[in-house]
Chain A
C-alpha cells in the first residue's frame, strides 16, 4: 500500500486535472449555445435558395445545367467536414467510419474517391490512411465565415464541371440534440430532383440578364451554402460532444479521487492502529 504522502500528491494532481476538464466542459457548453444560434441563422438562406432553384429548374426546361444532369460515376468527390481539435469523444471517428463505408462501396465498384477536407482532423486522418486530398482548409475557428469554404468548394465544383468527378457529397455531423450527433452524407451534385408538389400553379419569373447565367451563379451559391451549413452544424456537434466528453472526464476524476481518499484514510488508520499497539505493548513490557 502506498504511503500517505504519495496518495496525497496523487489526489491533488487528479484534482488539478478535474479542474481543467470541468472548465473545458463549461466553455464547451457556452460555445455550443452560440454555435446553435448560428446554426439557426444560416437556415433561412439555404431554404430560400432551394426554393428559387426549384422554380428556376422548371422555368427553362430545354436547358439542363450540368449540375442537374446525372451522369455515370467514374470518380466521386467528398467534402469532409471535421473538427480542428480533439477531445470530443468519438465524433470524428464515427464520421470517418461512415464516410469510409460509402467510399468503399464506390471503390468496390471500381470508382475511386477524391477528398476535400475542412478541418485539421480529416486531413490528418486521410494523410495517414491514404486518399487523394485535392483541397484543404484548416483552422476554421469557432465562428467560420462563409468565405473560408468558398475556395475549397470551388476546387470541387471545378472538378465536377470538367468531369474529373461525377458525384459530390458533403460529409458532416448533423446536430440532433446535445446527446446525439449523427454522421451524415448528403449528395450535393448532381442535384436530386425534388418531388413536384401537386396542383401547383405555374408561373415564371422575369429574368435579368437570363436564366442560364442566374442558374449557374445560384447553383454555386447553393452548394456553398450547403457546405457552410454543414460546417456550422459540425461546430455545434463538436462543442456538444466535447461537453459530454469533459463531463464524463470530470465525473471519472471525482470517482478516482473518492477511491484514493478511502485508500488514504485506510493507510492513515493502519498507521494509527500500529502506533497504538506499539505503545500498548511497550507499556505492557514495563
Chain B
C-alpha cells in the first residue's frame, strides 16, 4: 500500500494548507502585537493607508520548506531529515533520485516556488515581525508613543521614510531599512 506521507507534489497539495502563514496583526506575539496595534492606530489616525502582507509565519511550514530545499539540493540526505511534531512527511522514497525529485517538486513552480535556502528561524516565525505597506499624501501628522505630534513633510511618503522609522521606534516597531515592508521588534 502506498505511503500517503511520502514527500512530493501530492503531499504538498494535500497538506500545505495545514500550515498557513498569517497576515493578521492579531497573530503576532503578545508584546509586539500591542506595539504594532498602537502604531497602527496612530498611523490610521494620521490618515495613512496600510496594507498588511505578512505577520506570523508558520514554524512547521518553514521546516517543510527548508528540508524540501535541503533534500532537493542534496544538502541533507532524505533519511537524515529530523522529524518534528505535527508534520507527517516521509522524505525517504527508498531511492535517492526519487527522493530528490519529490523534494524538487515541492519547491518548484507548482509547489512552494522557492529558490533560496529557507531559514528555520526568523522574527516572522517568532511573531515579532510585520510586513506592511504604508503610504500617505502630502504630510503626515502622527503622534509618537508619548503623544507628541510629529509632522513628516519629507519623502518618500511611504514606509521607507526615515522620520516615520523614528516614530515607529518609539512604539517598539523597528524598521529594517534594506527590506521595504519589514518592521520588527529589533529591526532584524
| A complexed with B | no
